Amino acid sequence: MPRTILLASDHAAIELKAALADWLRGEGHEVRDLGPETADRVDYPDYGYKLGQAVAADGAAAGIALCGSGIGISIAVNRIAGCRCALVNEPVSAALAREHNDANVLAMGARLVGIDMAKACVAAFLATPFGGGRHAPRVEKLSSPPV
């Protein structure tokens, strides 16, 4: 089923972002590229925050966050309330992030995964629904951490 997919990266992942955007459009998804537009050096927190805010505001959109390792941008996205960003390197983790954690943003490192593995991760992420049930109370706790 086609979805709205929001993408953001830093300079290290601009080529992977472009390849994923083209592939996702070919799969029938609406893709919104939140930047950057060039390979000039940028700071991943700026784009992680931008993506997180857009995903949180939309509610139905899925996000894909990319940087060199995936670590920095995933940390930035997870600082935004309403975002559950999972850093993955293979499709099983991508599916489990959706099924068990109701992740709404997928993060990957362009220096760690190739385009075929990235596509497999995104496909698993988009195809897997949240399992609910015993996972729902745990996910709820992610939205209201202890003070």
Query: Would you say 133 is a known binding-site residue?
Result: no
The single residue of 29, 67, 85, 121 carrying the catalytic annotation is 67
The amino acid present at 107, given as its one-letter code, is A
- Classify residue 2 by burial, with Cβ atoms within 10 Å: 0-12, 13-18, 19+: exposed
73 assigned to a ligand binding site: no
Annotated binding residue 115: no
Active site residue 67: yes
Is 59 annotated to bind a ligand? Reply is no
Q: Report CA 33 to chain centroid distance, whole Å.
A: 12
Q: Is 75 annotated as a binding residue?
A: no
Among residues 29, 83, 85, 100, which one is catalytic? Answer: 100
Written as six digits, the tokens of 13 are: 């992942």
- 11 labelled ligand-binding: yes
Task: Consult the annotation and say whether 135 binds a ligand.
Answer: no
Pair 69, 45: CB distance under 8 Å: no
Q: Residue 121: which residues within 8 A CB-CB, separation 6 or more? A: 88, 89, 90, 91, 93, 94, 106, 108, 113
Active site residue 85: no
* Catalytic positions: 67, 100
- Residues marked as binding for D-ribulose 5-phosphate? 10-11, 68-72, 101, 111, 134, 138
- Residues marked as binding? 10-11, 68-72, 101, 111, 134, 138
